Amino acid sequence: MITVTTLKQLKAKQEKITMLTCYDASFARVMETAGVEILLIGDSLGMTVQGHTSTLPVTLEQMIYHTQNVARGNQTALLLADLPFGTYEADTISAYQNAAALMKAGAHMVKLEGGMHQVEKTAYLTARSIPVCAHLGLTPQSVNTLGGYRVQGRDESAAEALLTAAKAHEAAGAALLVLEYIPAPLAKTVTAALSIPVIGIGAGKDCDGQVLVLQDLLGIYPKPPKFAKNFLQGQDSILAAISSYIAAVKAGTFPESIHTFEA
């Protein structure tokens, strides 16, 4: 069974960690067979499964439903579930209640988006036995305030703020950090500065691991982002595609420069 201790050990050994989004039991079994360490029940399902243009419409009840489905198909991977928009921003008590609901549904850890303003939530949850993954950089739930899906942390002040927030979340007890859509040099700096594992998506090859949206990995989502790669191409099965992704991440051959933002 993959646990937070396992992930720390992988970072210490400098072995790359693999994560994929997963929304049902069937794909959970395939990913587990392939050897994915972390299955992310992402609110990205709002776009990939439900057909919305953002993650904002996803409800807690829907996240609970999909977490339960994935949990039924999984035996060994760590299950990370997103706290959806509007379920944790207001206060620590509602954040705890909603995170606890996801844990009862089968999650082993919850993910919340945001910098310094969310550090209090990270501390509150971890103090109450709920492991937390922080999410910095492009935070999709803030797409309307960020002005779209754009690279974050490009200027010096933004990069410094992101690093400060990453350290603060770690100090508050976060067990994992996801960095999305930021320049590779910044991701390298953050990864080196933290003792907890850092998982990148559009953040370069120097993170402790990588995550992709399943539909991007399979090449079935229209207009995939620059940082995605179709691993099904040239393979004869979904299992082979996922295995190819794992092998590329472990070997350090994914992401390549074409999937990376340098500045």
| Residues labelled as active-site residues | 180
Structure tokens at 241: 């595609």
Q: Per the annotation, does 54 bind a ligand?
A: no
Q: Per the annotation, does 16 bind a ligand?
A: no
Name the β-bridge partners of 39: 20, 79
Give the CA distances from residue 229 to residues 64, 214, 222, in Å, rounded to whole numbers and listed in that order.
Answer: 29, 10, 13
Q: Per the annotation, does 44 bind a ligand?
A: yes
Q: Per the annotation, does 113 bind a ligand?
A: yes
DSSP tag of 147: T
- The values of phi and psi at residue 211, to 5°, are -135, 145
Helices (H), the chain: 4-12, 25-34, 45-48, 60-73, 92-104, 119-126, 143-146, 156-171, 184-193, 214-217, 238-251
Could you give the dihedral angle defined by the CA atoms of residues 100, 102, 108 and 114, in that order, rounded to the nearest 10 degrees?
A: -90
- Alpha carbon 215 to chain centroid distance? 15
Instruction: Write out the H or E segment, with its range, that includes residue 198.
Output: strand 198-201
Q: Per the annotation, does 236 bind a ligand?
A: no
Could you tell me which residues are annotated as the binding site for Mg(2+)?
43, 82, 113
Could you tell me which residues are annotated as the binding site for 3-methyl-2-oxobutanoate?
43-44, 82, 111
